Amino acid sequence: MLPQKKDLKKINDYLWEIPKDFWPRMKVPARIYASEKILEGIFRDRSLEQLMNVAAMPGVVDKVIVMPDAHEGYGFPIGGVAAMKLPDGLISPGGVGYDINCGVRLLRSGLNYSQIKKEIPRLVSQIQRDVPSGVGRGGREVFRGEAMDKILAGGARRVVEIGFGEKADLEYCESGGVLEGADASKVSVKAKARGADQVGTLGAGNHFIEIQRVETIFDKEAANRLGLFQDQIILMIHTGSRGLGHQVATEYIQLMMRVMPKYKIDLPDRELAASPFDSPEGQDYFAAMQGAANFAWANRQLITHLVRGSFQKILGEAAKLNTVYDVAHNIAKLEKHNGQELLIHRKGATRAFGPHHPEIPAAYQNIGQPVIIPGSMGTYSYVLLGTEQSMKEAFGSTCHGAGRTMSRHAALRLVRGETLKQDLESRGIEVRGGSWRGLAEEAPIAYKDIDAVVETVVGAGIARKAARLAPVGVVKG
């Protein structure tokens, strides 16, 4: 059943297909966005086998997709996009991920790198103080009972309502920072208890806050609309729904595994635990997932507020930060594509709507939706833009980041955290936080080359480049 390169159809230099008839259980073809070199890497783990299993799910529509930052995940591969028909196509928590609405927000300042270069060490230290990170460190704001339910219902909008942000932050956030179908009663007491002190916290692992500078502008008109300029200081926040989201995912995977027999769902991989979207369990998960997604947007919103404080403490009252955009890369959404209402799963993939889509901010209508692509630590990040072609052939989706090639073990063998920190600092990148082991595990050598991943999606036409960003300060969880 395992495909080899000879079984794939090459559509263009950046797009391959496993035809539907390669395996009788596939209901649709599987498409892989990858250069030839990236494709060879993808064969090294079980991403393609997993993708074919997704193509076998009842209700799947048109094609399943994996992006060039693909790697093997739980059930669905990371980098996966799958559309399900309504009302009864399947919804699968494995198609969203454990860290529901893990995503990225980009903020822009009015400042130039050379203006504030000397202050960066103090700035990262301040951010590290102001935004709790790591594991077992709670935030200053605690949300219980009705306060938590309002966060789950209102997301970033609720956080702005209670005084931690600006209305414009919501306008420049995917879905306005809130999904209206959330139902706090479908999120368990345990999940809410885990999340109570986690709003406004960074978490750990590959989450970070980065101070960056705009290193290259690829499209001047787009950069103007985005409010970006050469050598500008900007700030990137990469985090998700913390323990609350993980608990929601864990509980609903457990639930779906139990109810699958009653729906007589025949799946080649039990990790694809799923229920029909219109079943009670499917609806409950979708409502809880939206609550967790809102929690993540609330989190990024409160962190935005906290880093605004950090900036002002170090750089003065006039140092403002405005939201450029905020995207989710682990989520399931109801969207219309090619005339059809669908449930779109994106796991380690980002929405990339093209120009003139009604859901993108007015200021960006002509250029397309910004897609924030975080690089691994110490490497470039990108601002891309969604395209019409992405709408036509990829359900308005693109990649999410660099993707791992190397196990954390192997990374640890090759990189010592202390050495990495020194190396980054010698390149002018201040690093704070995280354990030495955590630093080494997140070393760039463990990730696919971000430039190659971006070249692929751009070459394939499912995104285009606006700007490239270089890190100057990192606060790691």
Partner 1 sequence: MFLFIITMRESRKKQFEFLPHPADVKMRVWGKNKAELMRNAVLGVMNFMRPEYGEEKISREVRVESLDFPTLLVDFLSEVLAQADLGDEAYEEIKIDDMTDKTISATFFGRKVKKFEDDIKAVTYHDLTVEKKNDRWEAVVTFDI
The yes or no reply on residue 98 touching partner 1 (CB under 8 A) is yes
Query: Among residues 72, 171, 183, 231, which is the contact residue for partner 1, using CB under 8 A?
Result: 72
The reply to whether 400 belongs to the active site is yes
Query: Among residues 3, 80, 243, 374, which is the contact residue for partner 1, using CB under 8 A?
Result: 243
Which DSSP category does 360 fall into?
S
Q: Could you give the CA distance from residue 396 to residue 463 in angstroms, rounded to a whole number?
A: 9
Q: Could you give the CA distance from residue 222 to residue 214 in angstroms, rounded to a whole number?
A: 13
Q: In 3D, which of 240, 152, 235 has the Cα closest to residue 193?
A: 152
Binding part of the chain for partner 1, among 149-157, 188-196, 353-361, 373-381 by CB under 8 A, reads: 188-196
Q: In 3D, which of 57, 46, 52, 56 has the Cα closest to residue 16?
A: 52
In the complex, least distance from residue 461 CB atom to partner 1, rounded to whole angstroms? 27
In the complex, least distance from residue 452 CB atom to partner 1, rounded to whole angstroms? 17
Q: Could you give the CA distance from residue 439 to residue 59 in angstroms, rounded to a whole number?
A: 41
Query: Among residues 139, 203, 374, 401, which is the contact residue for partner 1, using CB under 8 A?
Result: 203
Binding part of the chain for partner 1, among 27-35, 117-125, 280-288, 409-417 by CB under 8 A, reads: 409-417
In the complex, least distance from residue 386 CB atom to partner 1, rounded to whole angstroms? 26
The yes or no reply on residue 71 touching partner 1 (CB under 8 A) is yes
The yes or no reply on residue 408 touching partner 1 (CB under 8 A) is yes
Binding part of the chain for partner 1, among 57-65, 132-140, 332-340, 467-475 by CB under 8 A, reads: 132-140
The yes or no reply on residue 106 touching partner 1 (CB under 8 A) is no
Joined together, the tokens standing for residue 273 give 């635990």
In the complex, least distance from residue 424 CB atom to partner 1, rounded to whole angstroms? 20
Q: Could you give the CA distance from residue 415 to residue 411 in angstroms, rounded to a whole number?
A: 6
Distances (CA, A) of 123 to 41, 120, 409: 38, 5, 32
Q: Which position among 238, 305, 329, 400 bears the catalytic label?
A: 400
Residues 6+ apart with CB under 8 A from 249: 93, 96, 97, 98, 99, 100, 292
The yes or no reply on residue 410 touching partner 1 (CB under 8 A) is yes
Q: In 3D, which of 262, 265, 237 has the Cα closest to residue 372?
A: 237
Joined together, the tokens standing for residue 314 give 């170090």
Beta-bridge partner residues of 109: 321
Residues that bind partner 1 (CB under 8 A): 45, 71-75, 78, 98-99, 134-138, 190, 193-194, 203-205, 243, 246-247, 249-250, 253-254, 257-258, 270-271, 404-410, 412, 435, 437-438, 477
Which sequence positions are flagged as catalytic?
A: 400
